[in-house]
Structure 1
């Protein structure tokens, strides 16, 4: 039998390669660039909100979020330089040309940012596990000063761990010997530049040299590859952190569910005691529960995006790096995993704004403090219940007939859900009631004020 591929098989293979190349170009080029730009802007805005608008009473957990956002912003910038910009400029990932001179630095810093992000998420997960499962121990070690030092130490260790990556690739001079107009031969890459004396050896011989990216001898060393890329990387970056994150996230989810169940048992909904204290406790527990859910979502989102790079590293170790990188489907798998990392790093703002009530309030206050934001806020909230609006209350005379609307219909301020104080109309008592931060008794106070106002007018 003839083992050579048929024309149909070659056509199908060419079509598959073209489709894979087009998908890779879209992922690495346009989609990555779009998410990098939006992600960097939103991450910087999130860092600004955390650092400037939360200076008073800043919880320790925000230092984790600020450090994680910084690392992920740096990862987005490196992804743009390593994948997106070459695709936008040249239509594909390139290994030759003047652009490759930045590859050693970008390659090293990309691995550093990924390692730092993994370790920060891991420390955040351990912190949440201790806060829910061992609160006494967490209270002793979860102070803000210790969290600051911990974030600094973890970031420095991530830089030191990724430092050998800088010596794995380097830019070399690739030279081609042109003997005839249509005949070329390629020489092996060398680090020395071909001089003009070699060009003059023969009249019909020309040397064309250009920079190219190449692996160093350290990268090809079997001992280094086995120890650093397989053992250490799987223990501290890919496999073991991924498994530990899965276990801790599952444990945290179980503890959150148990906490909700215990709270319902201790405070059943039909128990009619001290409703004000019950309302305050319910609101506080609800805020704490939502904050924990927000952190769990950040961890789970990172875990989902980090699974594919872990699987890609495992397949590369099992199959071999040469065979793995020669496959077009493997290259597409790597591109998808890289895009998921970009998507994860650019979407934290939306988790903060949806699930973080404190963060959402800070963003709202900052936007309202600007002239454009204040004008937009007034336009979108005109006449709504959440603003201070004018309410017209018609009063009725003792005989049942309404008074003159010009004199009897008075306008007073109805306090919104953000009410900070509620003033009564009792001129004799002249008291001031301070509404609670949750405004749980707003409706009752409003009804009492209306009845008291009508009683004073009728008397």
Structure 2
């Protein structure tokens, strides 16, 4: 076989990887230079979020249990995204090939953790919307349904199912060799998709059906429905209070709290739908036109949107939901 034929049959051998192929400039800017401060800021704010939601005045609210797990899962998404997406591009720009090698070595594992954390974040967002829907639309039944024990079981179930659902993702990418790249004078690992990831049956069942249904169709449908019902229920409740002549001051305070919580959760859901819609489009294109220019263009934008979504979610929670506790928690006297 000629070298060209040999590389077509087996592109993983070092004879076919004697030169390092750099990333495209737009990707280097979007996922490297631009994404890095977003990731750093997102991780820091998520740490602060965990401190807030586990604060003495906040930890007894089961809603904050969801938000704590969302903050932790979003932190894991950002950490994994740094190693998988940002570090190799920053390393290339700085010609720091040891950092590039580190990112390649960690990528198979980090990719699995990133997808698992995304599943947790999606279903925790869905869970908090269902929790709010139950409390608002079924106030009497919610007393038994939303007991702390039941909420903890529900959260544990989501974590377990997320790990189970994404277990195969840890085996979709692997390192097959370490090859010397003559143009950079350094040995760089060769990463390729495994036979599992390339299997047509696996791609059809997991990406074509299971992933689309579990990560998009069900969460999108549930979130849209329950938030519409919550808004309708609160509007009805407010009109009922006005017509029944309830205590103006107590009603005003209760109404303000309900409105604030509802606006926060609805804003989170709307942001979630907006940011994940592109991921839905990318998932469809990956199944029907993986070689199209549109797919190749949208993938970096979708990856960047992941870190942007995490940061936006933190803004919404703190500005609309817990501004008072945010100020209280960061008073030095509360920690010492």
Per the TM superposition, whether the score is higher than 0.5 is yes
Distance of 2:180 and 2:261 partners within structure 1: 61
Which consecutive residues of structure 2, in runs of 5 or more, have no partner in the other structure? 1-22
TM-score, normalised via structure 1 length? 0.61
Q: Does 1:352 find its partner at 2:317? A: yes
Of residues 303, 314, 321, the one that matches 1:338 is 303
Distance of 1:226 and 1:240 partners within structure 2: 18
Asked if structure 2 preserves the Cα contact closer than 8 Å seen for 1:242 and 1:307, the reply is no
Which consecutive residues of structure 1, in runs of 5 or more, have no partner in the other structure? 1-19, 183-207, 268-273, 374-459
Distance of 2:250 and 2:258 partners within structure 1: 12
Distance of 1:55 and 1:287 partners within structure 2: 15
Q: Does 1:24 find its partner at 2:27? A: yes
What is the DSSP-based 3-state SS (H/G/I as helix, E as strand, rest coil) of the residue aligned with 1:113?
helix
What is the DSSP-based 3-state SS (H/G/I as helix, E as strand, rest coil) of the residue aligned with 1:238?
helix
Map Cα deviations across residues 283-331 of structure 1 (whole Å, 9 max, x no partner): 1221122112211211221121111101110122122x3x24xx3x422
What is the DSSP-based 3-state SS (H/G/I as helix, E as strand, rest coil) of the residue aligned with 2:61?
coil
Map Cα deviations across residues 343-371 of structure 1 (whole Å, 9 max, x no partner): 11123332222222xx3222222333449
Map Cα deviations across residues 411-438 of structure 1 (whole Å, 9 max, x no partner): xxxxxxxxxxxxxxxxxxxxxxxxxxxx
Pairwise CA distance, 1:255: 2.8
Distance of 2:25 and 2:230 partners within structure 1: 41
Asked if structure 1 preserves the Cα contact closer than 8 Å seen for 2:84 and 2:104, the reply is no
Residue 117 of structure 1: aligned partner: 121
Pairwise CA distance, 1:21: 4.2
Asked if structure 2 preserves the Cα contact closer than 8 Å seen for 1:174 and 1:209, the reply is yes
Q: Does 1:142 find its partner at 2:149? A: no
Distance of 2:61 and 2:279 partners within structure 1: 32
1:58-457 correspondence runs (5 A) = 58-91=60-93, 97=101, 99-173=103-177, 210-267=188-245, 277-319=247-289, 321=290, 323-324=291-292, 327=293, 329-356=294-321, 359-370=322-333
Pairwise CA distance, 1:98: 5.5
What is the DSSP-based 3-state SS (H/G/I as helix, E as strand, rest coil) of the residue aligned with 1:173?
strand
Pairwise CA distance, 1:209: 7.0
- Give the aligned CA root-mean-square deviation in angstroms: 2.8
Asked if structure 2 preserves the Cα contact closer than 8 Å seen for 1:47 and 1:66, the reply is yes
Residue 8 of structure 2: aligned partner: none
Map Cα deviations across residues 139-162 of structure 1 (whole Å, 9 max, x no partner): 211122221222122112101110
Aligned length: 307
TM-score, normalised via structure 2 length? 0.82
Pairwise CA distance, 1:28: 0.6
Asked if structure 2 preserves the Cα contact closer than 8 Å seen for 1:129 and 1:252, the reply is yes
> Which has the larger share of helix?
2
Distance of 2:73 and 2:181 partners within structure 1: 45
Distance of 1:29 and 1:49 partners within structure 2: 30
Of residues 39, 42, 47, the one that matches 1:39 is 42
Distance 1:247 1:48, change over 3 A: same
Map Cα deviations across residues 238-290 of structure 1 (whole Å, 9 max, x no partner): 233223322333333333333333333334xxxxxx8xx42022112211221
Distance of 2:168 and 2:237 partners within structure 1: 45
What is the DSSP-based 3-state SS (H/G/I as helix, E as strand, rest coil) of the residue aligned with 1:108?
helix
Distance of 1:284 and 1:244 partners within structure 2: 27
Distance of 1:217 and 1:368 partners within structure 2: 54
Residue 49 of structure 1: aligned partner: 52
Residue 10 of structure 1: aligned partner: none
Structure 1 stretches of 4+ moved >4 Å = 174-178
Pairwise CA distance, 1:174: 6.0
**Structure (1 or 2) with the larger CA radius of gyration:** 1
